[in-house]
Amino acid sequence: MPAIRETNFQLPGQTAFYRGKVRDVYTVGDRLVMVASDRISAFDHILPRAIPYKGAVLNQIAAYFLNATRDICPNWLMAAPDPNVAIGHRCEPVRVEMVIRGYLAGHAARTYAAGGRILCGVALPEGLRENDPFPEPIITPTTKADEGHDEDISREEILARGLVSRADYEQMEAYTRALFRRGTEMAARQGLILVDTKYEFGKKAGQILLMDEIHTPDSSRYFYADGYAGRQARGEKQRQLSKEFVREWLMANGFQGKDGQKMPDMPDAFVQEISERYIELYEMVTGMRFVKDESENPLERIERNILGELASS
């Protein structure tokens, strides 16, 4: 199937359109129609090639976990009428992303290796090695940027700047910890470790709702539980299910999103590897087989399914 680079629909009742790093978002009345494209981003840059089936993987994992966590936290999702589409409540986004980390990995590990012992106002204990667990999960928020880099920020600065009220922030913290516990339990049943993830929230009619995607390879990092302890003891890299391998490939090819750096060309074999690893993650995380939609014209299929859902609801 051809990769879905972008969509340009004109939906009945459409009042706004926004193209994010991965999703094309249509506003229709008080609903949002989010189309998960096959674009992939890293270091806050969209990579030059789209990844077949990536959008369907993201959308279906997100729907799976949103439906599995409604008892913890209300969320925005109303329907998922197509492998690449989610339709839900339009919310006012909270301009803070709630990042929670159970292990010293990724950005936290890079900060630690550079000598940093404070991350987003949280003190990091001495003596940790990369991929070691924290004594308990830590929340390291970032500001939500429409373009460019999200910025690390502390709880204290969020409250001092009035980005979120204290009551709302404390509610988001409680939801974040509870969602991470549920995600950790669900991952463990599949032989995985949920290493870190992020959650985005919005408000509708005064209520905080969980938005966007959760526990997907774009927003989360997973380790294989089998062999984790042995690899740590031997100082070996952990087997991951995340897009960290994409970041590592970019870094190995001289790109970290910094000024003056040129985005490397992505060979066909690497694009295929990314696609296969996304599908593997879907099957590992959900325990279900990923069904490839082989539509000759996926854009036509997506539009037809959106229009059907909008007409019926």
Residue 276 lies in a domain: yes
CB 215: neighbour CB atoms within 10 A?
A: 27
Mean per-residue pLDDT for 43-62? 94
Residue 278 lies in a domain: yes
Residue 160 lies in a domain: yes
Mean per-residue pLDDT for 90-98? 96
Q: Are residues 87 and 99 in the same domain?
A: no
Handedness of CA 106, 110, 112, 117 (dihedral sign): negative
Q: Are residues 155 and 210 in the same domain?
A: yes
Residue 62 lies in a domain: yes
Q: Is 123 exposed, middle or buried (0-12, 13-18, 19+ CB in 10 A)?
A: exposed
What pLDDT does 128 receive?
98
Higher pLDDT, 152 or 296: 152
Q: Are residues 147 and 286 in the same domain?
A: no
Residue 248 lies in a domain: no
Residue 262 lies in a domain: no
Residue 59 domain boundaries = 14-91+267-312
Final residue of a structural domain among 223, 241, 259? 241
User: What's the CATH number where 49 sits?
Assistant: 3.30.200.20
pTM for the whole structure: 0.89
Residue 7 lies in a domain: no
Q: Are residues 121 and 85 in the same domain?
A: no
Residue 254 lies in a domain: no
φ/ψ of residue 278, rounded to 5: -65, -45
What is d(CA 248, CA 273) in angstroms, rounded to the nearest whole number?
14
Torsion, Cα 205 208 210 211, to 10 degrees, reads 50
Q: Are residues 111 and 187 in the same domain?
A: yes
Q: Are residues 231 and 286 in the same domain?
A: no
Number of domains forming the structure of the chain: 2
Q: Are residues 107 and 210 in the same domain?
A: yes
DSSP letter (8 states) at residue 206: T
For 188-197, what is each residue's pLDDT tens digit? 999 999 999 9
DSSP letter (8 states) at residue 75: B
User: What's the CATH number where 233 sits?
Assistant: 3.30.470.20
Q: Are residues 98 and 237 in the same domain?
A: yes
**Residue-averaged pLDDT of the chain:** 94
Asked if the model's pLDDT at residue 147 lies above 70, the reply is: no
Q: Are residues 24 and 110 in the same domain?
A: no
Mean per-residue pLDDT for 21-49? 94
Final residue of a structural domain among 197, 223, 241? 241
What pLDDT does 146 receive?
59
